[in-house]
Amino acid sequence: MHYKLKKPNLNKIKKEEFSEALLNKKKDEIFDFVKKSNEPEYLYWDKVQYKKPMPKNIKPEILWMIIKFIRESSSLSTDIKDISDKNFKWHKLPSYEAFFHNLDLNLGGELAITKKESDIKNKQKFISRGIMEEAIASSQLEGAVTSRQVAKKMIKEGRKPRNESEQMIMNNYQTMLALEEKYRDKKMGMELLSELQGMITKNTVDGDGKIPMLRTAKDLIYVADRSNGEIYHTAPDICFVKKELKNFFKFANDGLEGDHFIHPVIKAIMLHFWLGFLHPFTDGNGRLARLLFYWYLLKHDYWAFAYLPISAIIKKSPVQYKMAYVYSEQDDNDLTYFIDYNIKKIKQAMVDFQNYVETQSKNNKEINKEVKVKYKFNERQIQVLQYFCGDPDERTNMKTHINIFQVAKMTAIKDLRELEGNGFLTAQKEGRNVFYYPTEKINELFKKK
């Protein structure tokens, strides 16, 4: 069963009623209602019809017609097309200018947090955290059932995946690292797209138990609700997909804009939607779509997005994420629903990250003086203490220390043994590995402050 948006019956509305409403004495009230239907949330009919306060004696259907008329008259066409060759369009909302300005100040170059010397030292830590959280959440959105805590331990300790869910997460993590190191400056094409898809689906199988690959005419792909099987999207015919991928690649390589500038973040969101809409592979499309969002922004020097695990925010509202696709596809190809949803998630991710940084900075100030003077610990060792204070049930080992801080084996051993020797960690041998667990002394250190 295919999911269909409920649409208003506009056939019963006479042209005269529409015209009279625009000339009504309540015109200002009507246009204020229209404005509030676009921001702070870009609403579809299912919410507009119940929105309060509504201008009196004006039918909801007429208000919706006015909303649609204004949206259509100010919409911008995109290069994305549906199967009937109709272009998707989007509406540049007034609040976007302020958003772009703030974004360019904070994410287009040096983040505010990197202005301090102590934060520069933490830069790699912040990036590692962001990439790790993104890899886990993006995979969980596609059905990976491993918990966040177990997944983080697997990545930090360098342990091999034990099941397909863990494999999905490890694949995503390693591919995101490779974006920065290898792929960010490469030209997008079928070869690169297939290579990235192969990396995120390595050692996994699709719904038919086969190795994920480019779809054929026989492969019918649906995006459905796992709980009831209701279909929200049917992947287009592969012939259409192959034709549109040529435009997709041109767009990704900035070859279709001409004189029409589109902000890089909007383009990255469009690539995210476009790949998800085309669904060219038998598996991995969702993860690949979100990966391309990061690829495009890193390519255009918005490197600080590596700090922001957008999928972790999306995972908190998966129904809204799904409906952002549905509204965009089923409400006259209005891509604004999807763009607006993603912009809100980016804003939230920025706030969450700044809060995280402020908390970390506060913890630094609380213990830096004592541990530096009394114990002469280095920055890495201080960060280990801070980590265990926030997660007393966690553990670490030499591999984890090496992976996070990018240090040599002997340096990692020295760091951890010094912490153990001063009573902050206790070592336990488990198989071939030695794991370090926090002691009560860490909590006592923080309680003094």
- List the catalytic residues: 279
3-state secondary structure of 378: coil
Amino acid symbol at 92: K
* Closest among 225, 447, 192, 446 to 326, alpha carbons compared: 225
Task: Name the pairing type of β-strands 76-81 and 87-90.
Answer: antiparallel
Any binding-site annotation on 290?
yes
Any binding-site annotation on 287?
yes
Q: From the centroid of its chain, how far is CA 123?
A: 20
* Closest among 36, 15, 71, 79 to 278, alpha carbons compared: 79
CA 424 – CA 438 distance, rounded (Å):
6
Please give the sequence-ordered ranges of beta strands (E in DSSP) within 6-102, or none if there are none.
Answer: 76-81, 87-90
Q: Residue 82: beta bridge partners?
A: none
Any binding-site annotation on 432?
no
Supply 58's token pair.
Answer: 């004006």
Find out whether the peptide bond into 60 is cis, omega within 30 degrees of 0.
no
Q: What is the torsional sign of CA 317, 348, 182, 150? A: negative
* Closest among 204, 193, 370 to 292, alpha carbons compared: 193
Any binding-site annotation on 71?
no
CB crowding 178-203: b at 16 or more within 10 Å, else e: ebeeebbeeebbeeebeebbbbbbbe
Any binding-site annotation on 256?
no
CA 262 – CA 121 distance, rounded (Å):
34
Any binding-site annotation on 108?
no
Kindly write down the DSSP assignment for every residue of 194-261, as one continuous string.
Answer: HHHHHHHTTT---TTSS---B--TT---EEE-TTT--EEEEPPPHHHHHHHHHHHHHHHTT-S-TT--
Find out whether the peptide bond into 40 is cis, omega within 30 degrees of 0.
yes
Q: Residue 41: beta bridge partners?
A: none
3-state secondary structure of 111: coil
Query: What number of other Cβ atoms are within 10 A of residue 235's Cβ?
Result: 21
Any binding-site annotation on 284?
yes
CA 124 – CA 130 distance, rounded (Å):
10
- How far from each other are the two terminal CA atoms of the chain, in whole angstroms? 60
CA 369 – CA 348 distance, rounded (Å):
33
325 and 276 in contact (C-beta within 8 Å)? yes
Nearest 5°: phi and psi at 430? Answer: -130, 100
Residue set of the binding site: 283-290
Residue set of the binding site for ATP: 283-290
